[in-house]
Each structure stands twice: as structure tokens, then as C-alpha cells.
Amino acid sequence: MMEMQGFGGSPSSWQQGEASAHEPLCLSCSTAGTNMSFEFPAGCTCIHPADIHTIPLKMLCQNMKRQIVSRAFYGWLAYCRHLSTVRTHLSALVNHNMVPPDRPCEASGGLSKEVWSKYQKDCKNYKELELLRLVYYGGVQHDIRKEVWPFLLGHYKFGMGKKDMSQIDAKISERYQQVMREWKACEVIVKQREKEMQSAIFAKLSSGSSIDSHVLRLVHRDSTLSNEVFMSVDEPDAGSQEIPSGEDGTPTMTTLVPPAVLPPEERPLVEFDSPDSGLPSSRNYSVTSAHSQILSSIDDGLCSQLDKLVTNGGAAEGFSPSLSSYTIELLDTVALNLHRIDKDVQRCDRNYYYFTPANLEKLRNIMCSFVWEHLEMGYVQGMCDLLAPLMVILDDECLAYSCFTQLMKRMSHNFPNGGAMDTHFANMRSLIQILDSELFELMQQNGDYTHFYFCYRWFLLDFKRELLYEDVFAVWEVIWVASRISSQHFVLFLALALVTVYREIIRDNNMDFTDIIKFFNEMAERHDVQHILKVARELVHRVQSLMDNK
């Protein structure tokens, strides 16, 4: 046993001489004829297989104990690092203060007409947070949505009296009418310009002369430019809400994906804000405040005549709008956005009972007014989808305009120039990797669609095209109040809930990226929304608990 004197102390000369000869075995010592391996922590003596029979059993047990303790320690350390990573990446996704569903009372019944009436009589009967808690866990009774939604969207503030609310309504109405006058005046000139352009082209063609290249470019631009942020891989008209029927009469859904996901040969020929489109964009000129530019460039007399022109349907006697009143860039931008809006308004939920020609005209007025105030953003496909449900519930043009403006403060970041979409995708990857690692690995194995591009339309429209109108109402009001109750990023947990609810189907069918897009398109308007909302709330609670290390 003399050769073992180095154990527990400094290495003996035998151990030092043998170290280099058995260096590979120092990393993983194996017993002869077996697959068992011993991996010792730093400082432990390497045991050569040939000498295993000379080592006392007690010594073997001690070394095995060290190995077990070492592995347990490093496992615990890895877990601590994992929790640290989770906290770093996910702590900002949830509110750390948990609001329970059963305190001070059960909230699953939602905000009822009775509760709202008590609040209207005396605001002291309920605190704002308590009302939001009721909405988060149970929604709003449909009969009072028209009254409640303006509060949830920020048009009114909780606690306001009727006098203050009336003042806000009057102020918004005055502002809306002013914006309407401004863009309608510009629209008159845009239409006159287009008419003159068409007459010039006809005259040139009749005389056999060549057409000015700038005119041709403008005409070509209007006919080819697309503002679509998602398009169909089955048919060119992706924005249509109509659902084509198959031979058996069963509805079939259009597969919609962001253009960036499509292969190059299937992408639009001219993309929005493309430098090759020949269009004015935020990259080559700036329109920071269109309405102020109009007011500064048109004198009071001209404004007065324009008001008469708009009031009389464009037939004011002795008046001819002047192109010099506006910059060419501004007219081009307005014309382009009007064309986009007109295209989408005509196809916005045209099968839904509410959207009669009169209400579609109101929708156009609201959208044109909003875009006029935000020309630097312009109109992008999908904005009509966000406005439509507000109009259905509020049924008031000025109120819908104000609430839509409030809604777009959050939603505008999801559109191409907003930058929020990539953040959503990254957060989805973090969430599913932590909360459902098995499904995450499956997604990686089947073509790696952990980029989550199939969620694009969900985030862009707050799931509007995935749900029936009644379900859209229920989901939207929960999203609006969630920022105060559980998470400012509740849409992420809704998306994860949708995936979680169908995880067995996704797993059992080994779905790849194309499969999962088709699956969710086929499932559109068929989801159990109350179950999905429940799962989403549970997922938020799981992350909150993880943050508190409970």
C-alpha cells in the first residue's frame, strides 16, 4: 500500500511519474471491461484501472461521494445561472405585483352592468384598479361596452364627472372637424391634379406626342405600389376578409405571412417604402406636420373658399384650387395614402352586417383623418382591421376617431417602421424556451421555426383576424387592462397560449413552419377564446411565480 501514500496529501514520486503516462485516463478513468467512469473534481487523485484492486473499498466510496457532491454542486450552480438568465430576460415581461382573481371578491363574473351603474352613481364605490381587475378576469358585459371602452382606451379618465366628459367630447369633436376640413381640402386638389394628369395623357396620346416621364412614373406608381404588410401565398388579394369556399362548401382560409418570410420569387414586385419604387418616403424627404404646413401655406381667404368647396361637394362658384398651395411631395403622399385607404376600406369586413356603405364612409373619414395627422407613418394595411371593431361597439364617428388614436399609440409600433415586431419574436423564443422546452426543441428539429414568424399577423392586429367579432371584443378589452393588472406584454402570453392549447397536435403531427401556418389559418374563428384567455393568465402567473422564486 506504499504506492497509495499520496492520497490526501501531496503527490508521491510514483504519482508524479505516472501522471504523464496516464494523462488521458486522468480525465475519465474507466474500469476494465465495463462502461463505468469516474470523473473526479479538481485535486482528486487519478486511479489507474490496473490498480483498482489494490484500493480499499472505503477509498472508492469517498471518491464516488466527491464525484456525486461535485455533480450536485455544478448542477445547482447551473440552475442558479438559469434562474438568473430567466430573471434577466423575462422579468420585464410581467408585473411583479400579483393581482389575485378572488380578492377582495371573485372576479370571474367580469364587469357587470350592475357594478358599472354603482360606479357611475358614485366613483367612490369602486377603485379604478378593482374595475380593471374585474375586466381582466371576466371581461365587460356587452351592453355596457360602449360606455366602458372609452375609459379603457384613455379617451376618458376614471373618476371623471359628466361635465368633464362633455368638455372632452366637445374638444375632440372640434378637433376632428378641423382635421376633416384640412384633408378634404387637400383631397380636392389631389383629385383635380389626377384629372388634369389624365387629360394631359389623353391629349398626348391623341396627338402622338411622347408622355412626360414624371407623369408616367406617377401613374405607374399608383397602379403597382402595395402597402400590404402580409400577403397570401395562395392568392394575390391577401387583404380580403372574404373566405373562399371549397367544392364541398367548407370555408378555406388564406395563408398569410409577412413578405420577408416568403422566398424572393414570391415577394411583391414593389414593396412598401422600397428605394426602388420611385416613391417619396421618409428616407428621402420628411413631412413632419402636414396640417401645420397646410395652414401656413394657404391664406385665410383661400381656407374660407376651400371650406365652401368642401361643404358644397367641390362646386364652389368661381373657385379653382391652386396646386401651388401645396408642395408636390405632400400631394404625392396624400394621393398615395388615399389610394391605399380606399382600397382597404372597400374590402374591410364587407360580410359583417355593420359595414353598410354609410358606415364604410365613416370608417374612411376616420382613417383619412388619422393618417393626415400621421403622414410620416402613412397608411399601412391592417389599420382598418384595428378601427373596425371600435366602430362596431362605439357607433360614433368622433368617439371612434379618438379611441383609435389612443389605440394606435401602442399598435403603431407593430407596423413596419415601429420595430416592435422583432422584440415580440425574441420574447416569444425566451418564453417558450423556459415554459415549454420540449415544444421549443420540437420546433427547432422540424425546420427551426423558433423565429415565430407565424405569429406575425397575431401581433400586428391583436388577433383580430383569428377570432369571431364577439371574441375579438373579449380579447381586446383584456389586453387593454392587462398592463395594469399582470403584464404590458399580454399579447405574448396569448400567443403562447394559442400554441400551448394545440401543442399535442403540433407535436404528434411533427408540424413544420408551413404546416403550422396552414393549421392556424384553418383554425381561425374556431378557437375557444375563454379557455385561451384562461391559459394565458395562467402562463403570466407562472412567470410571476418564477420571478418570486416560489
pLDDT tens-digit map of 255-288: 344 444 444 334 333 333 332 333 333 333 333 3
Residue 192 CB coordination number (10 Å): 15
Distance CA 95, CA 323 (A): 53
Classify the phi-psi angles of 280: left when phi > 0, otherwise alpha if psi is within -120 to 50, otherwise beta.
beta
Give CB contacts under 8 A, 24+ apart, made by 33-41: 38/63, 38/64, 38/67, 39/67, 39/70, 40/66, 40/67, 40/70, 41/66, 41/67, 41/70
Does residue 91 carry a pLDDT above 90?
no
Strand, coil or helix: 539? helix
- Decide if pLDDT at 34 tops 70: no
Cα 213 → chain centroid:
40
Q: How many C-beta atoms surround the C-beta of residue 501 within 10 A?
A: 18
The enclosing H or E element of 520 equals helix 513-522
Cis peptide before 275 (omega within 30 of 0): no
CA distances from 487 to 91, 97, 293, 393, 480 (A): 10, 10, 40, 25, 10
In tens, the pLDDT along 201-242 reads: 888 787 766 655 555 555 555 444 455 655 444 444 433 333
| 117-140 pLDDT per residue, tens | 999 999 989 999 999 999 999 999
Share of residues in the chain with pLDDT > 90 (%): 53
Residue 550 in grid coordinates: 416560489
- What are 453-479's pLDDT values in tens digits? 999 999 999 999 999 999 999 999 999
SS3 at position 130: helix
CA distance 232 to 256: 5
Q: Which three cell numbers stand for residue 66?
A: 466527491
Report the candidate in 126, 125, 136 with the shortest Cα–Cα distance to residue 102. Answer: 136
Task: Kindly report the three-state secondary structure assignment for every residue of 48-100.
Answer: CHHHHHHCCHHHHHHHHHHHHHHHHHHHHHHHHHHHHHHHHHHHHHCCCCCCC
What distance in Å separates the CA atoms of residue 453 and residue 449, rounded to the nearest whole number? 8
Section 513-527 average pLDDT = 96
Query: Which grid coordinates belong to 171?
Result: 374638444
Please report which residue ranges of 374-416 form alpha helices under DSSP H.
Answer: 383-394, 397-411
C-alpha of 238 from chain center:
19
The confidence score (pLDDT) of residue 284 equals 30
**Which residues share a beta bridge with 30?**
37
* Spatial distance between the Cα atoms of 231 and 250, rounded to a whole number of angstroms: 22
Contact at 8 Å (CB) between 110 and 130? no
Most confident of 263-267, 371-375, 545-549: 371-375
